[in-house]
Structure 1
């Protein structure tokens, strides 16, 4: 369900990195890739942007990432990887030219199915894509033509995800890209916090800033709870109003918290941030 249409100045986001030549070129490659998806059927109807790139483009997150995270409405069948590779490689040249990046060459370097042996039947399969890019007329182009990777961006595509609410992002130039709505984004981040125990891994949670700056209203809170519960149950987690009280969940969220300073600068104390998120979580319309 989509009830939001947002104009996104991707060109300005790219230009913000001009002082860093590596990041600047990387963002140009990301802009080309997003436009290739937005301009190509059926990718523009079946792939939904989420994660750090969405946070940076739509919500001004200072965290830097070169990974494009997507959820797919496509079935994870035997040939989905080959179809996506062919569609992207076909779109890259014309999209790069349309955006004015005539000196950039992009090519899918590799696509890996995860888990490889049971991809089609797995509960949460994914594709890990490496997109190589090079500056035309340089040694990088020769390296790319030799099958090597001069520079790259990574694309992760998740399948079999619950998704109820999305928005349309109008990119610079007019192409339209589907993306998670704010409620969908927050719901997935809340679930990822609870998944730490199930997956036996730690995750630095960055929900505090998102919730504080956008102050979800009653309607949005209801959407968040509905989607969060469905997403959690799809991963065999039964959430309750007290789930964020769990000490192991808190401890795992605290792990490596201070390293976020390298990405966002000013960082609140962990306990303050976690308590705000816990308070928000408990304020959702559980009954």
Structure 2
């Protein structure tokens, strides 16, 4: 049975009120989560992860306007259209249910990543969806209806991602529930992302993973000394690595290439968190935790 965690989403949204742009972004994110809960075909199969989950469930100060999900249903060539229809059906209902009568949300675009051809057969396909939002009656609403709204939440949806364990987020105060990654899956997938930097095909655009170093360090510093938790993280890491044709070893995180790629754009993290911690200090925490996993016992 999945663990249930109460999330004070009204408080999470309200804390952004001094920043009008962030406040509106979080209102849109709240509507999107409720839209998922209102779609039976999505509620049990879309799992929230990434920076939004870090902020809501794990008290991270890192602010991001993007929303990241893994889905448990299979990739298909027509999945973009089906997801667009689901969201456009439930977004207006979610906004009305939450009392956001002056906010209008609509899917602006859905892109196949890396491409549409052969999407269903790819190892790690993804969709990049933009959900625009505008005040009702504003000039921006006309752009929204044409699919040209500048204000939008980017929703990244990953397929074929093994999930070791999930948790239920109960959104307080109304009790709406959505699925999300567990702590085990959050840490394991972020560690896999760091290792994956080194093995990316040279033809693909490489992204630094500076946020993963920050997030893992934040999470593991608060972890209890629980052997079963560490064993679960290692098992989840191995499953996720196998799904991407990676074989992790106790020394993998110590590769210089992993560290240097993760260091890229570290300074830009200050835009999300304010005061920037030392990269080497944060990476040492990640590396030490990775090595502390029960490699010899499994």
Partner deviation per Cα, 1:25-56 (whole Å, 9 max, x = no partner): 11111100011102211100111000000001
Deviations 1:48-97 (A, max 9, x none): 00000000100011111111100011111122211111111111111111
- Equivalent position of 1:55 in the other structure: 54
TM norm structure 2: 0.92
- Aligned equivalent of 1:224: 233
Tell me, in whole angstroms, the C-alpha distance in 2 between the residues paired with 1:94 and 1:192. Answer: 36
Q: What number of residue pairs does the alignment pair up?
A: 286
Pairing partner for 2:275 from 255, 261, 266: 266
What is the CA deviation profile of residues 235-274 of structure 1, one whole-angstrom value per residue up to 9, with x for unaligned ones?
1111111111211111112222233233223333222221
Q: What CA distance in whole angstroms lies between the structure 2 residues aligned with 1:265 and 1:8? A: 24
| Alpha-carbon separation, structure 1, partners of 2:223 and 2:24 | 31
**Native 8 Å contact 1:163 1:227 kept in 2:** yes
**Residue in 1 that maps onto 2:134:** 134
Q: Is the 8 A contact 1:38 1:177 kept in 2?
A: yes
In the alignment, structure 1 segments of 5+ residues that lack a partner are: none
Correspondence 1:98 to 2:97? yes
2: CA distance, partners of 1:165 / 1:260: 29
Q: Is the contact between residue 88 and residue 108 of structure 1 (CA under 8 Å) also seen in structure 2?
A: yes
| RMSD of aligned residue pairs (Cα, Å) | 1.4
In structure 2, C-alpha distance between the alignment counterparts of 1:274 and 1:195, rounded to whole Å? 16
Give the aligned partner of residue 167 of structure 1.
Answer: 167
- When residues 6 and 37 of structure 1 are mapped into structure 2, their CA distance, relative to the original with a 3 A threshold, is same
Looking at structure 2, the residues matched to 67 and 147 of structure 1 have their Cα atoms a distance apart, in angstroms, of: 18
3-state DSSP class of the match of 2:250?
coil
Task: Check whether the contact 2:2–2:167 (CA below 8 A) recurs between aligned residues.
Answer: yes
TM-score by length of 1: 0.96
> Counterparts in 2 of 1:169-208, with a 5 A limit?
169-172=169-172, 173-199=174-200, 201=206, 202-204=208-210, 205-206=213-214, 207-208=216-217
* CA displacement at 1:150 relative to structure 2: 4.1
Query: Is the 1:109–1:131 Cα contact (8 Å) retained in structure 2?
Result: yes
Deviations 1:83-121 (A, max 9, x none): 111111111111111101010011111111122212111
Q: Identify the residue that residue 46 of structure 1 maps to in structure 2.
A: 45
CA shift for structure 1 position 224: 0.4
Residue 149 of structure 1 is matched in structure 2 by 149
Q: Is 1:66 the equivalent of 2:77?
A: no
